Every structure is written in structure tokens, then in C-alpha cells.
Amino acid sequence: MIKSKFNIVLFEPEIPQNTGNIARLCACTGARLFLVGKLGFSLSDKYLKRAGLDYWNSVDIEKYDSLDLLKQDYPESNFYYLTTKTKNLYTDRKFKDGDFLVFGPETRGIPENILNKNKDNCLTIPMREGQRSLNLSNSVAIVVYEAIRQNG
């Protein structure tokens, strides 16, 4: 039984199937899902719904226009930014209940200006040299389950 509660933030997600898969992960782990900024699809998209299957009623989803507005509503929370542009490993961070795990759009990642303002809280998943990135829904699953493992 999972007892810890984490927050998944998808900043400007582009691919509905990834968001649907992540929503399903949130339903299974109890994580809350925050969709931030301009979405690359409609929330009624058939691919989004199909990927989430019958889990939608179990997912706590909130939509925000910007990361700044989200952070204003949770000023005491830790926000961690997952990126390929840092050497800080996600496994070296001690996560705690209520942390926000922020993931960027599939084709471009979290913008540099956001990463630069939050360098100490930028984290990466190690990969083989020369590879661009992991699939978004896989990345979310890897980090969420590490956070749960640490707190479970």
C-alpha cells in the first residue's frame, strides 16, 4: 500500500497519450496531476482518454495557467525540475510527501529560464551518452516510484 503523496506537474505537455499514461500512473500511486500552461491537445482528446482508460475518476487533476501561479498556491513546497541539462541525479535527492516533480514538454523540455532560476532543484535521470531523452511517461514513472520507495 502506497502511503506517500506526491505531485506531478506536466508543463505544456504535447502528446495526449503520454498525459493519459501519466494520469493512469497518478491514479495507481495517489499522486496529484497538475497540467500547467498551454496544452498541445484538448482534455477531451480520444487518445488522452484511451490511454487513461477507466482510471479518470480516480485522478486528482488541476489545471494552472503558469508555474508561477502554481508555486504561489504552494509556497512552502519543494519543486524539482527534471531535465537532461544537469548532473544532479534524482536518486541523490531525498523526496518528501507533498513535493512537486516538474516535467517539461516532450519535444523541448523545461525552458532554460526556468531551469536557470532553479539550478539547485534540477534533477536528471542518467542515460547512455549520445541519447537525447527518455519517454515522458517513463521518466515520470521512474522518479515517482523512487520518491515512493524513499518514503514508503
Q: With CA atoms as reference, report the closest residue to 28 among 13, 50, 8.
A: 8
pTM confidence score:
0.93
Share of the chain above pLDDT 70, in %: 91
The CATH number of 7-151 is 3.40.1280.10
Residue 78 grid coordinates: 519543494
- Report which secondary-structure segment, H or E, holds 8: strand 7-11
- Which tens digit of pLDDT belongs to each residue from 51-93? 555 677 888 999 999 999 999 999 999 999 999 999 999 999 9
- Region 83-107: what's the mean pLDDT? 96
Top pLDDT among 58 and 145 is at: 145
pLDDT beyond 60 at 45: no
Q: How many residues does the chain have?
A: 152
Q: Where are the domains of the chain?
A: 7-151
- Contacts of residue 103, defined as CB under 8 A and 6 or more positions apart, other chains included, come to 8, 9, 10, 11, 82, 110, 136, 139, 140
Predicted confidence at residue 33, as pLDDT, reads: 96
Predicted confidence at residue 16, as pLDDT, reads: 87
Predicted confidence at residue 90, as pLDDT, reads: 98
What DSSP line would sit under 79-91, residue for residue?
EEEE-SS---BGG
Predicted confidence at residue 76, as pLDDT, reads: 95
